[in-house]
Structure 1
């Protein structure tokens, strides 16, 4: 799906094309966003801004996605766009736009902010697998490669079982925020072996990167320190070292990372 097997993860209101370009020398993928697509999630985002959270709130979210992805067309990094929606039509439009740029459409089933969950998006989708699978199928039918951003430690959610359903619905990738339950990565990998698994949370160095890869992740992603080139160089080196030692990919090992 991307090489090197290091991504940077979306940070709402912060992860834009400029952010992705800055990280481009070290990463294989940049997930922009997240962005609210429909009226319910945009209202939720405005409420979140009112309490001092950062959010992307352009007049036209689909045009914004297109503009941001266009700004990355000339660099050798696979782009993705993390989106939040309670309805299907804007998911399809966003997926069409991503497909046009060979970008990944990432459905956000991860945001735990109360406003977004009340709007029917984010983490609330983890507890409503039927709706989440419907969003995945809608994005896949629109022609995009589809990732789903999920998190562990959500009460009442059997994440490995849900991961299998998501893969069956058309998810090409699962982006797992492991929280403090890193071994769940192995369970998800075993439940959905055909999905490209990106592990996230606390990835900072060789030890954390190798832990997730040992659990069966295909790649890792960096969140908060994604604007720190020292961290990105260190993690990329660790990822390439792991794959070189295990021989599990043909990724070329870079000596200048």
Structure 2
């Protein structure tokens, strides 16, 4: 899907093309966004901005995605966009843009802000797997590689089952914010192995120890969020990722 196996994870209202370019030497992929696509989620984003959160609120979110991805056309990483929507038509449009740009499309089933959940996006999708499945199917039908960002530690939410739903609906990757339940990555990775679903692990990735923990659980890659603008952190993480996969390749070559 991308190399090296390090992702720059989206930070709402901050992760744009300039942000990705500033760290491209360290990463194999960068997920821009998140961005609200439709009326309900844009209204939610406005409410969130009014209480001092950062959000991208361009007049035309689809055109904004296209411009941002175009700006990364020559970057040495695979770009993607994290999106939030409660309706399917704008999702179909942005998926077509991502397909044209060979970009990843990441569905946000992760945002826990009350406004976004009331709008029918973010982590509310984890509690309504039929709607999540519908979003994955819609996005995948336009041709981009589709990832779903999810959150651990939600009562009543079975992340391995969510992984099955994502894979069955045509998704390509699942991006797990493990919170304080790192072991859930192993449970999801076991399901993912059955369906070739790519697993990205997130939360607290800062150094060799955290990288090795997630990759040992079976993640295919790790992502860095808040310290993604810190070259010292990214250098440590990149070195640890490279070392892990170099050792794995040596083992495969000399079983």
Q: TM-score, normalised by structure 1?
A: 0.96
Aligned residues between the structures = 250
Q: Equivalent residue of 1:247, what SS?
A: helix
Q: Equivalent residue of 1:53, what SS?
A: coil
* CA apart distance, 1:187: 0.3
Q: Which residue of 1 aligns with 2:165?
A: 165
Match of 2:231 among 229, 232, 235: 229
* CA apart distance, 1:249: 10
Deviations 1:188-246 (Å, cap 9, x if unpaired)?
A: 01112211100000000000001000000000000000000111011000001011112
* CA apart distance, 1:128: 0.3
Q: Over aligned residues, Cα RMSD in angstroms?
A: 1.1
Q: Which residue of 1 aligns with 2:191?
A: 191
* CA apart distance, 1:165: 1.2
Deviations 1:40-82 (Å, cap 9, x if unpaired)?
A: 0000000000000000000000000000000000111100100
Say if 1:5 and 1:239, in contact at 8 Å, map to a contact too.
Answer: yes
Q: Distance in 2 between matches of 1:249 and 1:57?
A: 48
Q: Equivalent residue of 2:176, what SS?
A: strand
Q: Distance in 2 between matches of 1:165 and 1:143?
A: 18
Q: Equivalent residue of 2:72, what SS?
A: coil
Q: Which residue of 2 aligns with 1:211?
A: 213
Seen in structure 2, the aligned counterparts of structure 1 residues 195 and 249 have a Cα distance that, compared at 3 Å, is: farther
Q: TM-score, normalised by structure 2?
A: 0.97
Say if 1:243 and 1:249, in contact at 8 Å, map to a contact too.
Answer: no
Q: Which residue of 2 aligns with 1:246?
A: 248
Structure 1 stretches of 4+ moved >6 Å: none
Seen in structure 2, the aligned counterparts of structure 1 residues 73 and 246 have a Cα distance that, compared at 3 Å, is: same
Q: Distance in 1 between matches of 2:51 and 2:105?
A: 28
Q: Which residue of 2 aligns with 1:50?
A: 50
Q: Distance in 2 between matches of 1:53 and 1:162?
A: 28
Q: Which runs of 5+ in 2 are unaligned?
A: none
Q: Which runs of 5+ in 1 are unaligned?
A: 251-257
Q: Distance in 2 between matches of 1:11 and 1:87?
A: 22
Say if 1:176 and 1:185, in contact at 8 Å, map to a contact too.
Answer: yes
Q: Equivalent residue of 2:134, what SS?
A: helix
Q: Distance in 1 between matches of 2:146 and 2:244?
A: 26
Q: Equivalent residue of 2:58, what SS?
A: coil
Deviations 1:146-204 (Å, cap 9, x if unpaired)?
A: 00000100111011011111111011010000000000000001112211100000000
Q: Distance in 1 between matches of 2:165 and 2:192?
A: 8
